[in-house]
Structures are given as structure tokens and as C-alpha cells.
Structure 1
Amino acid sequence: MVEISGITLLLLVCFLICLYLVISDKKKPTPRQDVPPKMKRFTKNSSERSIMTLPKAMSSSYRPKKVIRICLTGGPSAGKTTALARLAFRLPEMGYRVISVPEAASLLSEGGANINMSQLDQTQQIQLQLRIIKLRMALEEIFTEIAERCGEKVVVICNAGVIDGSAYVTSDIWQTILDELGVTQVHLRDFRYDAIIHMVSPAQGAEKYYSNKKAGQSIDEARIIDKMLQESYTGHPKFSIIGNDPGKTFEDKLQKVTDVVFSILNIKAVKQYSYKLLVIVKGNDKDSLPIIPDYIKSQKILVEETFLESNPGEILRVQKRGHSDSYNYLFTSEKIRSDGTTETTSQIISPRDYMNYLEKRDQARTTVKRILQCFIQDDNYMILDTFLSIKFKGSILRVETKKKLEEISFPDFIEVIRNVNDDPGYSTHKLSKINWYDSPDISKMAGY
């Protein structure tokens, strides 16, 4: 009989244990690496496995933006392609490189995949829109990554946006698409683009230049699509509408697009107007919020803005912005240059970073809670800003437009008191002060 020493027996047992663990590990199913954890529950129930694999960027919702990304959207035959060509010509003269993201639907059409949505059932419409969204997002991320590696001033301009598809399907189908993707309208609208420019279809205001054959939709269908696109992007913090003004040419329309982009990039000599008006709203609800009539489509957004401790000549703040328990978080720094101008930088932050910043809040100021009610009036983008948590209890109307103040037609439920564009006392930074007080004359005039 062969004698086995204690050490030899111990080594043999260890070898057998290791062998068992290796065999057991090989029997375990390998988890899929291509699907983010939050998306697995949707993929398991889908026969279209490839549809649900989102671009890598979706797994990280807080990628800091290194370049400006603008979405150029609009109704049928609005002139987006021509406007992109004009921008690609003008911006390099100002030192910017332009990277244009092609329209996903056009790529399919140019490849021979002309699809009539009306001929598809609901399931097929959902599957098609999911593929188009996936293609759009992938294109945007690829072009943006290339732009970030350019090492120069560069702007990414997207021909149409991710949520453009919402104008071509019913609201129920679009909500199903959002649920399948595991995202919300707010995230797709507000996070992906630094600014939105909507070019109005000639079917609205320039009917004689609209061609059914070229656009593929009747003039009434084009008007509906244009309106739905405007409503889809209403709520974005930087949303501009380029309409078809009476007596103006298409060249004038292209110039307006150029002016807006120049304004976004802080290029001087731009005739884009922004107004900040002290107003009275006729009628409040039970929560003391202004009532916007039902016939006006509006988007309500909650904003909480907290100012942080900072050095002289510097303003730091964090902002929580969104609605329906879906929020984005932003950190902004403003520094006064030696020539008196202001340098502003912003970046998207995570919810955890936001909470950490709140520990550095300026104790001399109150967190400013506001309700923004965004709507469109005669091609003018208006934001009714109502303050809830500070001494100032009035409302301020912010207007983004190509018109002079005297040319703007305001809704009947709003009475303009005065323009406070140049009044530093009505900046959020000033309004947040615990010891803020209003002028007695203005208080009496505004009725609060």
C-alpha cells in the first residue's frame, strides 16, 4: 500500500477544488455585454433584438460636452439642407469648422428605402422608428466624437433631431417608442442638443413656394407636421423659430438662421432679439401659477437654481431642470473679464455631483424655485417665468424673436409692465438674495 503524506493529500484536495470551480464557471451562461442593464427587460420581450441595442453614449447620460451641437429641424420643404450649406460656407469665415450630421431618413430614402408610414401597421411603425432613432443617435455620436478630436473651433449641426419622428406617428405610438428605449421626451429633447432651430415650412406663410410633389405631403399635412415638430421641441432652453415673414424672401430666411447660429456661438453683429419683460398675468390657478388658456399649447418645466460660494467677479450656480420626475443637472460658471465682458461656461453634471455642489451653497442667497411655461405665439418663442421661493412674487416673460419689441403681438392674458432687459435687479442672481427688496413704485405698478 502506498502511503500518502499529509502535504500530498492537501495538495490533491486543493487541485480537485480548483478543477470543480473551473468546470462550474464554464457552465454559467455568459451575460450579454452589448445591452445596458436598464435595457435588458425590454430586449427580453422583443423579437427585434438588434433594434434595442442603443449607441454606447446612452449608457452614460452625463458625458461632458466638448463641442456645441445644434439641431436644425423644420417642416416639409423648410429649407434645412440649403441652410446647412449656407452655414458650412459662412462659419469657416468666422474661424469655425462645421461638421454636418446627415438626416437619417434621407439616407434611407437615398438608398432606395422609400417607406410610406401610412402603409405600415402599428408594430411596423414602431420597429421602423426605433431603427431610425438608433441610426440618428449613432450618427450624432460618431460625428461628435470626430469633432472633439479636431483640436480647433468646431460646431456640430444635425439635420433633424432624434425626436423628429414624433411628428409622423400618433402620440400613443411615440410613447411606446420612448418606453421601449427606456428614455423620456425631456432627455431626448434637452440633453442631446445645445440649441434647437426650427425652420417653418413654406406651407405656413409662404404657400406659393410649397410644392406637394417635392415635399411628398399635401399642404395641410405639411402644416400639421410643422406644428407637431414645434410642439415637440417646446421646452428646450434655447429654441428658435425661423418663420416665413410677409414680404421677406427665402434669402432673408437663410440669413435669420445664420444670425441665430452666430448668436449661439457668441459671434458679434447678430440681429437676434431677446427680451425680458416684467408682466402681469390675468388669472392664477389654486397654486398661484399663471393660467395659460387651453388653446395655447404649452410646456411646463420646474427649475431649481442654487448659487454657490465664489470669488469676487465670479458667479457659480447649479441648476435642476425638468418635469414629471425627469431632470437634467447643470453647473454654470460666469467670470467677468478684464474688458468688462462675461465668460460663461456650462456643463451637464450627474445627480450626485449636483447634491455635492449644494453643500457649497451661498448662505446669503435662497434657492430660486421657478415654473417655466413655454409656448409659441406668432412664431415667437415665449417663456413665462414664475418665481415661487423668493420675495419677488411676480412673473417675467422672456421672448426669443427676430422682431423688435414694438412689432411683437402678445397674448391677451398677458399685460406687459416694462422691459427689464437692462435692469440688474431682476437677474436671478440678484433676486436670490435673502435681503432683496423691490422698488415701491414698481411693486405698486405690478400689483404685488
Structure 2
Amino acid sequence: MKKMFTPKNIKHFVSTTGVATLSRRPCFVALSNHTTTLFNINNNSSCFVREFSTNSSGNYQQEEGNNKNFYNSKTLALGLVGGLLSSIAAYYYFDNNRNNVDDNLHTLLAQALSAQENSTFEEQERTKKNVNALLQHNTPIYRVVLTGGPCAGKSSAMTKLRERLQNLGFQVFIIPEAATLLMTGGAKVTDNSSVEDVLAFESSLIKTQMAIEDNFQEIARVSKKPTILLCDRGTLDPKAYMADDLWQALMDMNGWSIPMLRDKRYDCVIHLVTTAIGAEKFYTLENNTVRTETIEQARELDHRLRASYIGHSQLYIVDNAVNSFDEKLQKVYNILSHQIGIPRAKSSRRRFLLKPMEKVDMNLRHEVIDLEQIFIPTGNEKDVTRIVKRGQNGVFTYSYHSTQTIEDGLEKIEARPISARTYVNLSSQADKSRMPILKKIYSFVYMNHYFELNHYLNGKGKGTTILTVEAVAGQEVSIPPFLEPYILEEVTDNNKLSSYEYALKN
């Protein structure tokens, strides 16, 4: 089996047959069962090939005569460099930056699992504590999207949020909007633009947005400081400006998918509703040189933007049902506080038990999500730790969630992405008294609220359907008409009707 591997400034790579020692230079490594070929690029744009194989002891040795394979080919070298840069960026981003768990965790888990059968109960418990400590204390980097319709208050919100979050000790980066950069620079599409021009522009826009975000992510990683990246719009915002068939063509030509652009990139999405909905007297075009939308266009665009992110596990909609803009900002700050683990009042997510539904007949735009969650022992009956696998159309993201009760009325919630490998390793430490919970989730937006219809597929709650909505306690919530006949009762405070209880085996 051959594969490409582009390690970042490391000297050793463990393969199935031994340990190959690599240089710090960019390299292309082809691995087979017994042979590793190292293409090492010199500073003079030449390239030479060395082959190593494993001896009887499992160590790597250089094959005789392979130094003769020396190629003075600028074309080969440049081709390798181009491929390597892309591969390094892809590997580095997806396997490291987005997963706020470093390789020490994988080493610790491997050691723990290999010794699991021979270890004492105390040793196993100590290992679990070490794993949780490493997960919880690894320097976090949170990537948050602030989106919304025109004149929603994003720019003002980001400036004030940065001040407040910096006062809490976070390093805060504001990621500029790629569309504004391109359009103020003169690059844009018009009603007369061809399909090819539109696809080229939107493709470049999303790639620019991703590059800017990833570079700020790298700066944050190197700094080793707890960091929050506040993104002025995200990679799915362009979807609101395109016809569905054109958007799908854009996805296909770039090899992208909505889960990739939505779930794998962002920890949280906060949609600020335009003042054109509910605060019309404050709607203006004066503070943005590229804003041209009328109030009617702003309303339509706002609805399309929020629909673009439906399906994200942490989508929040902040409307204008407030007494002041400062109150709107406070709502955004409360949401971020929840995301970064600052103790706050217990969950404002309301829950409703529904009658059994043979078929979910949705007459709203929605997304269908597959979810698996596994509970991990915490040693404290008031605390809950779980790992979650969430996906759509075969594309999955993995996350770690911890809820700690600080005191009555206050809880600390931590959620962070992990890799698929970490998910598999942590699943081996699952609570043996509980089974994995499987759910089918239908996500949609109705009357400025983000709903999730949770249908349990196994466990004690098999066949049960729970409707959840993010709303302040006591706040009036409009239930979609097609669901009203199925509502039995509100169960927000009924912990017996929860995934944690449904997972119990006995």
C-alpha cells in the first residue's frame, strides 16, 4: 500500500514496519509493506531518491546502489513542491489545527489501552483523569462565525466582543470578510456576468476566506495562547447569493461539501438578524460602501443566510426583540461564554416531548443529521462527559463535551473538536453501564428560532421524539404549526427524558 505523508517539522514517523528517520526538509514519502522511498528536495531544485527497507530487526537500512538514482529535473522538483505545499497545508490543518488535541494525547491513549488488561482499577482511573486533564487543559482555539443580514451589527459586535474577551485573558483575532476585500479591490460579479465568471469569483472568494482563516489559526497555534477567532462571515455565506444548482456546481468543481464547509471549520455560528426585520428605523446603507440592499432585499437575504448554516450543531440566531443594541450584544456575549466554558446559568435550551411520529413531514427547509454519542465516566454524578460523532451524507465531525455543575443554577460547559482517531480511542473508555445513543436529527429555523427534532433510534428512549429550541427561560416560543398536534408537554427540567438516562442499560 502506497500513501503520501507530509509531517510537520518532525524527525520520526512510525509505520507498520518500523521507524523511518526523516529530514526537516519538505519530502515525499511513499510507503509500502517493507520499503520507504524518500524524495528529498535540495535547495538547488534538484531531487534525489533514497530507498530504505526493513531488516530482520525491523530497522530501516538504505538499499545498496540507490544513490545512483539522482535526477537533475527542475520539472520534477517543482511538481513535487507544488503537491507538497498543498498536502502539507491539508494535513496540517485537518489533523492538527482544527483538533485542539495534540499528539501527546494519542501517545497517552495508546499506552493506556495497551496496558488496560493488566492494570489495576486505580491505574485505570488515574489514566482516565490524565486523559481528561489533557483534553481540558490543552490550549484552546475557538473559531466562531458572526453572520447575518445587512446592517445587523456584526462589525460593532466584533469590536466590543474583542474588548470583553480580551479582558478575560483571551487572545482575540477578527477575521476580515473575504467578499469585502475582493469587492473593494474591484473584483465582483454583476447581473451580466457569465456562469463561468460567477463560478470563478465565488470559488476564489471561498478559497480566500479559508486561507485567511487558516493563517490566523496558525498564528494562534504558534502563540500557545487561548484564542478566539471571530470570523466576519464564513465559507457558507456565498450560498445565500447563488441559485441552488449553481452552488452545487461550485461544490462539485472544487470537491467540497456542505458538512466540510459548515461543520469541520467552525465551532459556533451566530446569526445576527438584520435591523430590516424588527428594527426597521435603524436600517441604513451609510456605514458600508458595498451595501446596496433595500429593506425588502435585506430581509430576503437574511433568511437565505440563516438557512445556509442549518445543520450546524451550534447555530444561534440573535433577533431584534430587545430594548437596545447593547442588549443584543449581551445575548451574543452570553452565547460565546457558553462556547468557551465560562460558568453561566443552566442551559436555556427548552425541550418538548412529542407524540410518536411515523413520518416527519417537514414543510420547511431543513437538514437531516446522523448522530452518535458515547458517555465517558466522570467520577461525579453531577457532571456529564460525552463524545459525539455528527454527520451528514457520510461526512462526519467529532467533538468532546463536558458539563460540570459548579453550584445550583450555574454550570460550566466545554465543547471542542477532536479527531476521528481520538474519538475511537476515547470510545474504549465508555461508561460500561451506558450504551451509545443513536439519533436522527431534523434541523430547521422557524420564527427566528433554531429547532432540532431529535428522534431516538435505540436505548430506553427508542422511538421517542424530543423537540429542542434555544430560548431564554420563560421566553415565548412559536411552535411550527405542523408540529403543534404532536406536542405532549414541555420537559425542559425532566432529566429522566434525556440521552444520558436513555443510555442506561438497566
Q: Tell me, yes or no, whether TM beats 0.5.
A: yes
Structure 1 position 416, deviation (Å) = 3.9
Residues in 1 aligned to 2:445 and 2:394: alpha-carbon distance in whole angstroms: 24
2:69 — aligned with what?
A: 22
Q: Which amino acid aligns with 2:197?
A: Q
Matched, 1:275 2:350: yes
SS of corresponding position for 2:479 = coil
Residues in 2 aligned to 1:97 and 1:28: alpha-carbon distance in whole angstroms: 43
Structure 1 position 329, deviation (Å) = 2.1
Matched, 1:107 2:181: yes
1:442 — aligned with what?
A: none
Please show how residues 431-446 of structure 1 align to structure 2 within 5 Å.
431-435=502-506
Indicate how the Cα distance of structure 1 residues 264 and 182 shifts in structure 2: closer, same or farther if over 3 A, else same: same
1:422 — aligned with what?
A: 493
1:199 — aligned with what?
A: 272
2:104 — aligned with what?
A: none
Extract unaligned runs of 5+ from structure 1.
Answer: 1-16, 41-52, 286-290, 436-448
Higher helix share: 1
Structure 1 position 80, deviation (Å) = 0.7
Indicate how the Cα distance of structure 1 residues 33 and 252 shifts in structure 2: closer, same or farther if over 3 A, else same: same
Matched, 1:303 2:376: no
Residues in 1 aligned to 2:348 and 2:400: alpha-carbon distance in whole angstroms: 25
Structure 1 position 144, deviation (Å) = 2.2
Structure 1 position 197, deviation (Å) = 0.5
Asked if the contact 2:341/2:414 (under 8 Å) is kept, the reply is no
Asked if the contact 1:62/1:348 (under 8 Å) is kept, the reply is no
2:317 — aligned with what?
A: 241
Structure 1 position 63, deviation (Å) = 3.5
RMSD of Structure 2 on Structure 1 (CA): 3.4
Residues in 2 aligned to 1:351 and 1:196: alpha-carbon distance in whole angstroms: 22
Answer 1 or 2: higher relative contact order, Cα 8 Å, separation at least 6.
Answer: 1
Residues in 2 aligned to 1:397 and 1:19: alpha-carbon distance in whole angstroms: 65
1:369 — aligned with what?
A: 438
Residues in 1 aligned to 2:336 and 2:156: alpha-carbon distance in whole angstroms: 15
2:242 — aligned with what?
A: 169
Structure 1 position 114, deviation (Å) = 5.1
Please show how residues 255-334 of structure 1 align to structure 2 within 5 Å.
255-268=330-343, 273-280=348-355, 283-285=357-359, 291-294=360-363, 296-308=364-376, 311=379, 315-333=384-402
Indicate how the Cα distance of structure 1 residues 161 and 300 shifts in structure 2: closer, same or farther if over 3 A, else same: same
Asked if the contact 1:365/1:432 (under 8 Å) is kept, the reply is yes
Asked if the contact 2:95/2:419 (under 8 Å) is kept, the reply is no
Residues in 1 aligned to 2:80 and 2:245: alpha-carbon distance in whole angstroms: 30
Structure 1 position 406, deviation (Å) = 5.1
Structure 1 position 434, deviation (Å) = 1.5
Please show how residues 30-429 of structure 1 align to structure 2 within 5 Å.
30=77, 31-35=79-83, 57=92, 60=95, 63-65=98-100, 66-110=140-184, 112-113=185-186, 115-211=188-284, 215-245=291-321, 248-268=323-343, 273-280=348-355, 283-285=357-359, 291-294=360-363, 296-308=364-376, 311=379, 315-333=384-402, 345-392=414-461, 393-401=463-471, 403-405=472-474, 407-412=476-481, 413-414=483-484, 415-429=486-500
Residues in 1 aligned to 2:327 and 2:66: alpha-carbon distance in whole angstroms: 77
Structure 1 position 221, deviation (Å) = 2.5
Structure 1 position 424, deviation (Å) = 2.7
Q: Which amino acid aligns with 2:69?
A: V
Residues in 1 aligned to 2:455 and 2:421: alpha-carbon distance in whole angstroms: 27
Residues in 2 aligned to 1:98 and 1:61: alpha-carbon distance in whole angstroms: 20
Q: Deviations over 1:209-250 (max 9, x none)?
A: 3346752123333222211111111111111111122x7343
Asked if the contact 1:240/1:400 (under 8 Å) is kept, the reply is yes
Residues in 2 aligned to 1:407 and 1:334: alpha-carbon distance in whole angstroms: 26
Indicate how the Cα distance of structure 1 residues 36 and 277 shifts in structure 2: closer, same or farther if over 3 A, else same: farther
Residues in 2 aligned to 1:36 and 1:303: alpha-carbon distance in whole angstroms: 35
Structure 1 position 72, deviation (Å) = 0.4
Asked if the contact 1:57/1:141 (under 8 Å) is kept, the reply is no
Structure 1 position 408, deviation (Å) = 1.4
**What TM-score comes out, normalization by structure 2 length?**
0.69
Residues in 1 aligned to 2:260 and 2:412: alpha-carbon distance in whole angstroms: 27
Indicate how the Cα distance of structure 1 residues 367 and 153 shifts in structure 2: closer, same or farther if over 3 A, else same: closer
Asked if the contact 1:260/1:270 (under 8 Å) is kept, the reply is no
Indicate how the Cα distance of structure 1 residues 338 and 381 shifts in structure 2: closer, same or farther if over 3 A, else same: closer
SS of corresponding position for 1:424 = coil
Rg comparison, structure with higher value: 1
Asked if the contact 1:334/1:344 (under 8 Å) is kept, the reply is yes
Residues in 1 aligned to 2:235 and 2:244: alpha-carbon distance in whole angstroms: 15
Indicate how the Cα distance of structure 1 residues 253 and 386 shifts in structure 2: closer, same or farther if over 3 A, else same: same
Asked if the contact 1:212/1:219 (under 8 Å) is kept, the reply is no
Residues in 2 aligned to 1:351 and 1:405: alpha-carbon distance in whole angstroms: 39
Structure 1 position 203, deviation (Å) = 2.4
Residues in 2 aligned to 1:128 and 1:54: alpha-carbon distance in whole angstroms: 22
Asked if the contact 2:387/2:399 (under 8 Å) is kept, the reply is yes
Structure 1 position 337, deviation (Å) = 6.8
Asked if the contact 1:276/1:421 (under 8 Å) is kept, the reply is yes
Q: How many residues align?
A: 396
Asked if the contact 2:320/2:328 (under 8 Å) is kept, the reply is yes
Residues in 2 aligned to 1:132 and 1:224: alpha-carbon distance in whole angstroms: 22
Asked if the contact 2:277/2:299 (under 8 Å) is kept, the reply is yes
Residues in 1 aligned to 2:232 and 2:412: alpha-carbon distance in whole angstroms: 29
**What TM-score comes out, normalization by structure 1 length?**
0.77
Residues in 2 aligned to 1:19 and 1:176: alpha-carbon distance in whole angstroms: 46
Indicate how the Cα distance of structure 1 residues 36 and 22 shifts in structure 2: closer, same or farther if over 3 A, else same: closer
